[in-house]
Amino acid sequence: MSRTITFVTGNANKLREVQAILAGSPSINLVNRKLDLPELQAATTREVSIDKCRRAAEIVNAPVLVEDTSLCFNALNSLPGPYIKWFLESLGHEGLNKMLDGFADRSGYALCTFAYCEGPGKEVHVFEGKTDGTIVRPRGPLDFGWDPIFQPDGYNVTYAEMDKAEKNKISHRAKSLEKVKAFFA
């Protein structure tokens, strides 16, 4: 039985990636809706996603799926974390790298948090996926967030340089969506 879920995002790249990862999943029929939701400023993507999910469920009045992503630098105690979008907008890829220039440790991780809710007032379910890697100077196309500066462990290319199908197998988003698929299976 296929369940129709509204994925709330205005990010076309994110939508395409999620659709590609969920393609062929018989239990999920994903539809998209862009909503201008106020975003809670919190220390974790979990808190942000739960809040966004509750707000979206109230507006859509149907099952919703939302997502929030962090890029965390180990040398900075996981910053910028859920604030990565604003750090990237303010500093750019090179500025993000400069934040680590005084540190020997350039390791970090990408964390993706999906939250699902059946509707208003219902329980929010959270699914997280994490990929460890290294923060590098920008390489590859600059059209999808911080992908040009994140090189996952075990690879010599950044997310941006990686074949999309390969990225969709190993990324933080893919790991989180595997948990979403298992929940609905």
Residue 158, token pair as written in the block: 């950044």
What span, in angstroms and rounded, lies between the C-alpha atoms of 171 and 110?
Answer: 8
What span, in angstroms and rounded, lies between the C-alpha atoms of 151 and 161?
Answer: 9
Flag whether 39 is marked binding. yes
Flag whether 34 is marked binding. no
Flag whether 172 is marked binding. yes
Flag whether 167 is marked binding. yes
Flag whether 55 is marked binding. no
Flag whether 52 is marked binding. yes
Flag whether 29 is marked binding. no
Flag whether 9 is marked binding. yes
What span, in angstroms and rounded, lies between the C-alpha atoms of 185 and 181?
Answer: 6
What span, in angstroms and rounded, lies between the C-alpha atoms of 181 and 18?
Answer: 12
Flag whether 14 is marked binding. yes
Annotated binding site for ITP: 9-14, 52, 68-69, 144-147, 167, 172-173
Residues placed in the known binding site: 9-14, 39, 52, 68-69, 144-147, 167, 172-173
Q: Detail the residues annotated as belonging to a binding site for Mg(2+).
A: 39, 68
